[in-house]
Structure 1
Amino acid sequence: MSILKVFISSTCYDLDNVRDGLRDFIYNIGYEPIMSDYGDVLYDPRIHTHTSCIEEVKNCDMLVLLIGGRFGGKAISEAVSTVDFEKVKEKIKAGTVIDDERLSITHLEVLKAIEYGLPVYTFIKEDVLSDHKLYEKNKDKSIITEITFPSIEKQETAKYIFEFINIVRLRDHGNNIFPFKKETDIEGMLKKQWSSYFQKLIKEQFGKKEKSDNNKLEKKVDELQTLIWRFINEAPREKDSQVSQKKKYGRILWVDDYPINNESVISFFEEQNIHFDIALTTEQGLKLYRKELYDLIITDMGRGDESNAGITLIKELNFLHCQVPVIVYCSMAAIRRYSDEAIRLGAYRVVNGTANITSLITDICGLSN
């Protein structure tokens, strides 16, 4: 029986402690970590070591990417030539810049994984991710050359690190990114992600063996169980009357495929004993909704290739007879295009801007008293 191989890609010297801890974690769950600094890579004497690292990626089952404040060594041209950039560009957002004159070994390892369609789990140090947001806001302005990014070891490499983050996050799929402070943050997230992913694969495989009628019946039973459970656990309530009562809510479901944008709002309310469950997709959000009792649901509008994913979520919630207030938090462009439809379908509010969402949550949760 073959063992699942996990390639760990990052700069080595600044993240060595994190890499060591992650290696132990992967071993302990029965998988095989592949790390260049531990000799897990086959170094073919006929080619450069850079090329050997890149070639090893395609022999693995998935890749875990760690991004810190250090830019790795520039890869040699032989290693660069092993990546099919045309295939890679088909799988990332049009217009995303890949500067093949300034690619590190870590860059190429990830691009090779994208080329071969391997799952990539990206973890970025919190301070680097915070500086990346500052970079994105100012990268097209003349002031960008005067900005110092504290998280970056060498300021002249900041652009290449931040654009590398853009390559990963602007993929057409598999574009997950997670912030981390310590190695245990990565372990916890990988446990959740891998467990859920493998469970999904098992269910999909099982579903292929079932007849269409059985699948429909199973869905109806699941929906009926959800409705019965909610009927037992939830008191009948109207959305507007809930808000007017200003009852303190303890649990909020937030559906957004780029949750890093909401960190400041979430942190603010968590300090006031408001718990948040985060879902990256409509499917994840519905799964959480079926399991937990929520007092408020927040959704963005566009997720992945679906520009009206928020509308889809509201429709699914309506089908489940959801009585929980739903706030749509999205861009002004999305508001202009979808606000009327969202309100017609039952959304409580459609808003934009940190100040507005903070004020609205404060009011709904009864924290203004």
Structure 2
Amino acid sequence: MPIGYKPTVFVSSTCFDLGQVRSDIRDLIQTFGLEPILSEYDSFPVSPDTDTISNCLRNVREKADIFVLIIGGRYGFQTDSGKSITNLEYLEAKKKGVPIYVFVNTSIMNILPIWKNNPDADFSSHVENQKVFEFVESVSHFKSNWVYKFDSASEIKSALLQQIPYLFMDSLEARKKLKDNEINLPSDLYPPKAARLVIEKPDGWEHLLFAFLCKTYLNRLEPKKFDLEYGISFNDVVVIDEPQDVFDWITVRNNEMLKLIRLTTTLVNEAAMKSIGEPGEEGDYRKIQHVCQRLLEVYEQIINWKLSFTTLDVNEDFEPILEVLSGFANDPLTKIEQFVNRVYIEIPKALENIEHSDEHVTLDFTFVLESPDVDSFNRELENIGRLYF
């Protein structure tokens, strides 16, 4: 965290019926020396090239260090997903893993059990939209959320006055754990959410850490993916005139790809499982990070391998075989992306289901790559052989 950085508090609610409450909470946040983020103020960071929803979610994702959710009688504007912007902001904060404080109007909390028993009844005198009840119910299900009732802004302020100092104590305790256990968590390798998982070690932290780091490292390679999409490479052009030298180049590249495929399957099917640990055994955060880093380094190497074909200058007779060989990278790249996105979505979901139902969940993330199109490669190899040898 840069020197002079002020931690931020994102306040999410329906603005129209809770305007004064939001204003009072903003004043309180500033008294702590923290930076409030509220969408109705000019200080709210806005990108003019994106819509309101995207701006709100981006600010949660990029700016929010603490998230305060206030639920009143309104549900707010529904997006195409059927969820309100407030609901989406909450889900984004949950995904990010920041501390969340939830405040729900007392009358809504009191009538929630009645709604659960009679969901088809008319509750228009209490809420603008019955989705408010659904939202409160979903928020209450998360054991990590402490839900506070409130009738006035003063009650929210009182709760935050007591709770926010605990965060500072948590930070001091985390610092002590890092020092006592000699835990080294460089910020470039362990973003804040990853560091919290290592320090706090919630149930399933090893799997969550693996999924989060893989996704984080994959996202960092987005510019490289764009290079591949547009065929951009700044490497020098390689000119090969002699047919035998082209054959040698092809052989080397073929062997390189086979090695990268072997590395990928080994990292996912063997190294990842060992780093996470057998059931009942604690994983090693250093090994988990190492496997994630190496997996995405292999992914980057495969991109670079494919881009090497764009800077090769040879006789056009070799273009068919080069096209086939270049295609060997397609399946590994796709499968690695699919694997990373799958664990990032399914592991938290599975752990959440276990938390709510205590049911045993089995996930199979066995990684299988298809064999390269060797038959087409050999046919083109024979064609070239007849032309030159």
TM-score using structure 1 length: 0.46
TM-score using structure 2 length: 0.44
More helix per residue? 2
Q: Which has the larger radius of gyration?
A: 2
